[in-house]
Structure 1
Amino acid sequence: MSDPTRFDLDDRQRAMLAEMGVRVWWPSSPAEPAVAPDAPAAQAPVATAAPAAVTPAAPSVAQPPARPAPLAPPPARAASPALAVKPLADGVDRMDWAALQQTAAACEACGLCAQRKNSVFGVGDVHADWLVVGEAPSEEDDLAGEPFAGQAGQLLDNMLKAVGLSRKAQGEGGVYIANVTKCRTPGTQNPSPEELATCAPYLVRQVALVQPKIILLMGRFAVQSVLQTTEPLGKLRGQVHTHQGVPVVVTYHPSYLLRNPADKAKAWADLVLALKTVQS
C-alpha cells in the first residue's frame, strides 16, 4: 500500500512549501545503523581514605508536613457586553446566499454582536470543491470583514497554493473559506459552547449551498462545532470524518502553526490527505 502522506511535488509546490517553512524530504534508502561512540578509556582506581568515625546525632522529632496552599480558581470568562439578544432569524436553513449574508450581518442572537465592527461571513468560490472552516474571527478578520486575515491568512494562502488552490480563484483551484462564528470574541477569548451553537445554523447552510467535496477544519473550535466532539485535535488527525455527508479532514489552525512551526509538516500531511480524498 502506498504511503497516504506521499505526494509528488513539482517545483511550484516545493516553493510554496518553502514559504510555509516545511522541509520536504523522503528517505531513498534504509538508514545506516548508528555507530556507537568509542567507550571511554578505563581509569585507574582511586585510593580512598577510610571513613572517619561519625558520632550519631540525636534523633529528631518528626514534623508534620506543611499543608499546601489552596489553589486559586481559574479566572472566569468575561461576559460579553450586556445586550438584549434576539432569536435567530427564521428560515436560515432555506436562505440563498444574499439573504444568508444579510441576515448574518444583522444578527443579534448572542452577545458577540455588541463589539463587532464587521460580520465575517466568508470569502471565495461559492461552488468550490474545498470548504475551509476556521474558528472565531480574529481582530484582523473583524476589521477586514474577511476570514483568515493578517499573518494567519498569509500562511493559509501559502498552504492552499501548495495544493493548487487560491481564495481568489473561481472554478478549478477555487476554495470557499468561512469561520464557525461570524463575529469575533472579546480580546483573545475563546468562543463559548453557547456561542458556537447559536451561530452553527449559518455554517450548516453555507455547507449546503457550497456542496463541497471536502471540508478542511482548522483548529479545535472548528472541530467542536462541526464534528460535535471534544476529542483532542491530535487524535482526530490522519483520518477522514463526515459532516452532512461530506468528507472532513482535521488540521491545525494557521495561528497555532505560527506559534508552533514544528507542526507545519503535520499540517502538510493533512493537506495531502484532503487532496487525495478529493481526487478519489
Structure 2
Amino acid sequence: MQDNAALSADAYLAWWQLAGVESAVAEAPFNWLRPAPAALSGTPTAQPTEAPQPAKPQDLQAFHLWLETESLHPERRWSTRAIYPAGTTDAPLMIITDMPDPADVDAGSLLADRAGALFDAMLRAIGLDRSQAYIASLFFARPPGGMVEAADLTYAAARIRTQVHLARPKRLLLLGDRTIRALMPDDATPPANSLRNFNHDGGTVPVVATFHPRLLLSQPAAKAECWLALQSLIEEDRP
C-alpha cells in the first residue's frame, strides 16, 4: 500500500511538471484575484485582426462563380445538394424564395413538383414563363431541418442585395414569410398587394411580396390575395 501511494504521488508531481509547474509555492506572496492593471494612456494596445473580406463580384457571371467556389458561404457547412440561381441579367422579373424545398433538392431546381406547377401557373397569369425570369433563393442549399441561424440569415440577405444589383431585374417578387422578413424587415407584413421599393447595392427596384406556393397548396383561400399581389407587378405596364 505504501509503495502504491508513493508511486501515485510521484505520478501526480510528474503530471504537474509536464504542465509547466516548477514549484508549489514561491518566496513572495501573489494576489491571483487582483484586477488586471489598466493600460497606460498613450500606450498602443493590440487591436483584433479581422479576417480579410473577399472582394464582391463585379458582374453576374462572376457572382455565380463566387457562389459555386467561395468557401465562406454558410451552405458549405451543410451536406445537402446545392441549387444555384438561374437566369440572365435584365430579366422582366426576379423571383426570390427562401431555400430549396425537399422536392427541389430531389429535382435539382428551385420551385419543383406541385409547388412548381402552381408557380408556373402564377407566372402564366401575368404573361411570363420561367425563361423570362431570374430565379434565386436566399440559401442555395437546404440546412438540416430547414432551420438557419440569425447570422446566416443576415449574411444571405446581404448576398441577395448584391445579386439583385448585378442581375438588374425590372421587377422583384419575394415568396414566403422568411424571405420577406429577411429582405424587408421594416415592412414585413405579408402579403403586400402593392409595389414598393427594394434597396439593393446599386439603388432600388420595384418589389412585391406574396405567399410561397407551398403555402397556397395547403391554404387555397390565400390564392385570391396572392393574385392581387401578382396583378400589381403588371399594372404599371398596362396602357
Residue pair 2:103, 2:113 contacting (<8 A) in 1 also = yes
Runs of at least 4 residues off by over 4 Å: none
Change in Cα spacing, 1:103 to 1:144, as seen in structure 2 (3 Å) is: farther
Q: Secondary structure of 1:123's match?
A: coil
Residue by residue over 1:129-149, the C-alpha shift from the partner in whole angstroms, topping out at 9 and shown as x without a partner, is 211111122223234442212
Q: Secondary structure of 1:90's match?
A: coil
Which residue identity does 1:91 align to in structure 2? A
Matches within 5 A, 1:254-269: 254-269=213-228
Does 2:193 align with 1:238? yes
Q: Secondary structure of 1:229's match?
A: helix
Q: Which residue of the partner structure matches residue 36 of structure 2?
A: none
Find the partner of 2:233 among 261, 274, 278: 274
What RMSD, in angstroms, separates the aligned Cα atoms of the two structures? Answer: 2.3
Which residue identity does 1:223 align to in structure 2? I
Structure 1 length normalisation: TM-score?
0.59
Shift of 1:226: 1.5
Q: Which residue of the partner structure matches residue 163 of structure 2?
A: 206
d(CA) in 1 for partners of 2:52, 2:124? 37
Which residue identity does 1:104 align to in structure 2? L
Mean CA deviation greater in 223-232 or 265-274: 223-232
Shift of 1:267: 0.8
| Richer in helix (by share) | 2
Matches within 5 A, 1:4-83: none
Structure 2 length normalisation: TM-score?
0.69
Change in Cα spacing, 1:205 to 1:110, as seen in structure 2 (3 Å) is: closer
Q: Secondary structure of 1:98's match?
A: helix
Residue by residue over 1:26-50, the C-alpha shift from the partner in whole angstroms, topping out at 9 and shown as x without a partner, is xxxxxxxxxxxxxxxxxxxxxxxxx
Residue pair 2:60, 2:167 contacting (<8 A) in 1 also = no
Q: Secondary structure of 1:247's match?
A: strand
Shift of 1:88: 9.0
d(CA) in 1 for partners of 2:159, 2:136? 10
Residue by residue over 1:89-125, the C-alpha shift from the partner in whole angstroms, topping out at 9 and shown as x without a partner, is 6122x33233222221234435532334432221234
Find the partner of 2:55 among 73, 80, 91: 91
Q: Secondary structure of 2:134's match?
A: strand
Shift of 1:278: 4.7
Q: Which residue of the partner structure matches residue 180 of structure 1?
A: 138
Does 2:67 align with 1:104? yes
Residue by residue over 1:71-99, the C-alpha shift from the partner in whole angstroms, topping out at 9 and shown as x without a partner, is xxxxxxxxxxxxxxxx796122x332332
What runs of 5+ residues in structure 2 fail to find an aligned partner?
Answer: 1-50
Find the partner of 1:228 among 179, 185, 190: 185
Identity, % of aligned positions: 27
